Each structure stands twice: as C-alpha cells, then as structure tokens.
Amino acid sequence: MLFGKKKRRICMLLIVEDDPLVAFDTEHFLREAEFEIVATVDRVVDAMTVIRGGHDIDLVLVDISLADGSGIDVAREAHAHALPVLFVTGDCPAGGQDVAAGCLAKPYMPRDLLTAIEVIEAVLEGKKTKRLPHGLTLFAKVA
C-alpha cells in the first residue's frame, strides 16, 4: 500500500488519572485515535501493579496528584521498568524530570495530547520534533 498509515511505536497506553471524568474522556478519545488502553487506574498502588504485571506498555500517562500518593512515584516505577512517562497534570513537577519524557499541562485539547504522544514517539526514535503542542514541556531524558 503506497499511502498506508505509519506504524506507531507507541500503541499501548497506561492511564493514571484520579478524576473520573478526565479519565473517561482521555480513554475515549485515545481509543478513537486507535490506541490500546492497557488499563486506566486512579491510584498509585494500582498503577504499580499494572507496571509490575508484565503488561505490554509503550507509554504511561500519569497525573501528579493522586488520592493515595504522587504520580512521581508511578513515574519512578515506570522508569525502573524502562517505560517512558508523560506527566499530564495541572502542575508540572520539578522533581520528575529524571524519570519522565515530559509534561503536558492541563487543561489541554485532545489534539494536544495526541501531538504530545507523537512528539514523545519521535524523540524515542531519535528524530527531531517539528513543533511542540501547547502546554508540552520536554525533559532531557525520555526513558
């Protein structure tokens, strides 16, 4: 096929978000964009269980403020398993730069999240990024 879709490197996502409406909306539009959602969880302990469970995960999307702790702890666990992390939060953390690829500030438009995922994918592949979506900050490390 001459004009087929480009094969994605990032297909399988773990969503860690404690706001039910944000989690539902995020899961819905990412599925519409043909991503597979490995799990959507709202607690640090549940995210750790999924990460340690040997699931195929290409990217972890994590909020910082969770009911039972910090999303930075989730990012550290993901980093220990060589999984890239994108913080998706209203308050991008200074302390998470060593364990995450970047941070997308809330509120964001769905297209900005999709573009942020594409940017993380390009960086993972060693490609230069053309433009960053509104609200995305890239960190020095990616995985």
- From the number of C-beta atoms within 10 Å of its C-beta (0-12, 13-18, 19+), residue 125 rates as exposed
Q: Please tell me the distance from the alpha carbon of residue 9 to that of residue 118, in angstroms, as a whole number.
A: 9
Q: Please tell me the distance from the alpha carbon of residue 42 to that of residue 63, in angstroms, as a whole number.
A: 9
Contact (Cβ atoms closer than 8 angstroms) between residue 96 and residue 74: no
Give the pLDDT of the chain (143 residues) as one tens digit per residue: 455 556 778 999 999 999 999 999 999 999 999 999 999 999 999 999 999 998 999 999 999 999 899 999 999 999 999 999 999 998 888 778 899 999 999 999 999 999 999 999 998 888 888 788 999 999 865 54
Q: Provide the whole-model pTM.
A: 0.91
